[in-house]
Amino acid sequence: MSTTTLPPTIPVFPGLPLLGNLLDFRSKRLELITRVSQRCGDIGAIHLGSRTVVVLNTSELIQSALVEHAADFEKTPNLRIYGRPLLGNGLLTSENEFHKRQRKLVAPPFQHRRIASYADVMVSYSEQLQQAWAAGATIDIAREMMRLTLWIVGRTLFDADVLGEAEELGKALTVAMHRFNSEMSSIVHIPYAWHTPANERVRKAVGRLDATIYHMIEQRRRSGEDRGDLLSMLLAARDEDDGSFMTDKQVRDEAMTLFLAGHETTANALAWTWYLLAQHSAAYTRLCDEVDSVLGGRPPTFADLPNLPYTLQILKESIRLYPPAYGFARLAIRPVTLGNYQLPAGTIILVSPYAIHRNPDYFPDPERFDPARFTPEAEQRLPRHAYIPFGGGPRICIGNHFALMEGHLVLATLAQRVCFSLLPGQHIEPEPLITLRPNGSIKMKVTRRA
Ligand code: HEM
């Protein structure tokens, strides 16, 4: 892939001969991308073996790449090749006119009016989940949030109950993500068509996830019912030009993409939020005070959300520090100028919410957890694209409002009923796979609130 010649104005982050920064990219990825932004300034290059990756460190350069020059970039070949077994040609991986058409088709369930109708499911499933936790019980909050968001996305977008399968689906997803991750950071690439043990493990995992998705498609086709959800919409969608329906494979690719993107990210956001709250008692107390005074013991509704501003500030601050999509890349398909920097065709750029969210120019004392950074006034003062947990431009996350509403409601529902405290002696670190997961479980003790 790209061994593009970059202009000398772009500083290169020091690395080893031949390998460049590959070892750090594998084992200390978050530290590496943060150090690049600290040491190189606005823009810097790293070498991953023979590949050169340009890291953008200012909101202006990020805006220029994601918005103004969106058409000069595509997703990277890595994502398309290694993401394909799992995501196929769905919304995350497709390009150009096809992507535009599919995005239009998939958009309706994510419009404001429609997502408001999902609020009741989000609250009712959160209530049911917490009712199963005994007072004093120890739970793994990362696992519980994964189960909850999977359950919610299954019901809201596919009108299906997938809670019973959550464990198996979660394991299959982990296998697929590990494989994708190791391909991204290795020098020798093993084609997916080869029957190696690693490939067989991925095939089995994808087969498990496929079974669930194809089952949902088949049931819906058989019933012929229009339930007004995403799945019905995908099955009913017709091509504007030739009037053809989507094939089962295309419906599967879109459904799989939304199923995965729609729960894994939000689950991680929620797990990190509880983790932060358990360590910041003042913010935790203020959260409880807000939900108690606004809700007075009843479950929250969509209409309550504007009256729970501090709850949302906490969520936003948590995804600043632990952005579930901590980095995403693009390939320049033609020469492009970002700010004062000319990048040749073939350049790979990396946009990292994790690093830009730690830039002290935008977020002073960046490691400090401080929900006050997201009062409406403070948020307005932030430069555009300095806070990018959902990306930006035409490929901005289609589920951003869905995710924020879900996080907001889950926090408010659970904070009213239970209090979490961290079990001592755990070594919890973020593990940057495709998303920013905790490196294992996060054990919490549940105390029931009066
Ligand atoms: C906290 C939760 C979430 C975060 C942090 C997040 C983050 C992101 C980011 C950064 C991107 C852009 C990637 C890029 O430009 O390469 C993206 C795209 C996407 N997200 Fe999300 N996401 C979240 C929740 C969701 C939800 C709930 C759904 C669906 C139910 C979803 C579906 C998608 C899809 C389909 C795309 C691809 C959009 C396109 O390329 O047109 N995400 N997400």
Is residue 226 included in any domain, yes or no? yes
Is a pLDDT exceeding 80 seen at residue 185? no
Residue range 309-335, pLDDT digits in tens? 999 999 999 999 999 999 999 999 999
State residue 86's pLDDT score.
Answer: 87
Q: How far is the CA of 259 from the centre of ligand 1 (A)?
A: 11
Which has the higher per-residue pLDDT, 317 or 235?
317
Q: How far is the CA of 399 from the centre of ligand 1 (A)?
A: 6
Is a pLDDT exceeding 90 seen at residue 189? no
Decide whether any atom of ligand 1 lies within 6 Å of the 257 Cβ: yes
**Mean pLDDT confidence for 386-390:** 98
**Mean pLDDT confidence for 52-67:** 97
CA torsion through residues 381, 399, 320, 30, sign? negative
Confirm if 288 and 419 have CB atoms less than 8 A apart: yes
Number of domains in the chain: 1
44-48, 156-160, 293-297: least confidently modelled range: 156-160
Q: How far is the CA of 61 from the centre of ligand 1 (A)?
A: 21
Confidence band for 445, pLDDT divided at 50, 70 and 90: very high
State residue 224's pLDDT score.
Answer: 85
State both tokens at 81. 């090749």
Is residue 153 included in any domain, yes or no? yes
Locate the ligand 1 atom nearest the alpha carbon of residue 323 and give its number: 5
Is residue 246 included in any domain, yes or no? yes
Q: How far is the CA of 400 from the centre of ligand 1 (A)?
A: 7
Is residue 7 included in any domain, yes or no? no
Is residue 109 included in any domain, yes or no? yes
Q: How far is the CA of 391 from the centre of ligand 1 (A)?
A: 8
Which has the higher per-residue pLDDT, 7 or 277?
277
Decide whether any atom of ligand 1 lies within 6 Å of the 266 Cβ: yes
Number of H helices, E strands in the chain: 18, 12
Cα distance between residue 46 and residue 56, in whole Å: 11
State residue 149's pLDDT score.
Answer: 96
Confidence band for 1, pLDDT divided at 50, 70 and 90: very low
pTM summary value: 0.94
What residue owns the CA closest to ligand 1's atom 31? 399
Mean pLDDT of the chain: 92
What residue owns the CA closest to ligand 1's atom 21? 397
Q: What is the CATH number of the domain that holds 391?
A: 1.10.630.10
Which has the higher per-residue pLDDT, 192 or 312?
312
Locate the ligand 1 atom nearest the alpha carbon of residue 406 and give its number: 27
Cα distance between residue 162 and residue 145, in whole Å: 14
Q: Which long-range contacts (CB under 8 A, 24 or more apart) does 217-226 make?
A: 217/248, 217/251, 217/252, 217/255
Q: How far is the CA of 324 from the centre of ligand 1 (A)?
A: 10
Decide whether any atom of ligand 1 lies within 6 Å of the 261 Cβ: yes
Torsion, Cα of 135, 141, 146, 148 (10° steps): 30
Q: Which of 94, 397, 406 has the most ligand 1 atoms within 8 A of CB, as the residue to mutate?
A: 397
Decide whether any atom of ligand 1 lies within 6 Å of the 321 Cβ: no
Residue range 74-106, pLDDT digits in tens? 999 888 777 888 899 999 999 999 999 899 888
Is a pLDDT exceeding 50 seen at residue 48? yes
Is residue 319 included in any domain, yes or no? yes
Half-sphere exposure of 181 (CA within 13 A, CB side): 18
Decide whether any atom of ligand 1 lies within 6 Å of the 332 Cβ: no
Residue range 139-179, pLDDT digits in tens? 999 999 999 999 999 999 988 888 888 888 888 888 888 87
State residue 2's pLDDT score.
Answer: 47
Decide whether any atom of ligand 1 lies within 6 Å of the 269 Cβ: yes
Q: Which DSSP symbol is given to 72?
A: G
Q: How far is the CA of 397 from the centre of ligand 1 (A)?
A: 4
Which has the higher per-residue pLDDT, 145 or 7?
145
Is a pLDDT exceeding 80 seen at residue 297? yes
**Mean pLDDT confidence for 124-143:** 97
Confidence band for 3, pLDDT divided at 50, 70 and 90: low
Is a pLDDT exceeding 50 seen at residue 202? yes
What residue owns the CA closest to ligand 1's atom 7? 390
Which has the higher per-residue pLDDT, 409 or 233?
409
Is a pLDDT exceeding 90 seen at residue 391? yes
Decide whether any atom of ligand 1 lies within 6 Å of the 390 Cβ: yes
Q: How far is the CA of 251 from the centre of ligand 1 (A)?
A: 18
Decide whether any atom of ligand 1 lies within 6 Å of the 329 Cβ: no
Is a pLDDT exceeding 50 seen at residue 273? yes
Q: Which DSSP symbol is given to 382?
A: S
Q: Which domain holds residue 159?
A: 22-448
Decide whether any atom of ligand 1 lies within 6 Å of the 92 Cβ: yes
Is a pLDDT exceeding 80 seen at residue 183? no
Label the pairing between strands 73-74 and 328-332. Answer: antiparallel
Is residue 6 included in any domain, yes or no? no
State residue 197's pLDDT score.
Answer: 87
Decide whether any atom of ligand 1 lies within 6 Å of the 331 Cβ: no
Is a pLDDT exceeding 70 seen at residue 8? yes
Decide whether any atom of ligand 1 lies within 6 Å of the 402 Cβ: yes
Q: How far is the CA of 390 from the centre of ligand 1 (A)?
A: 6
Q: How far is the CA of 91 from the centre of ligand 1 (A)?
A: 9
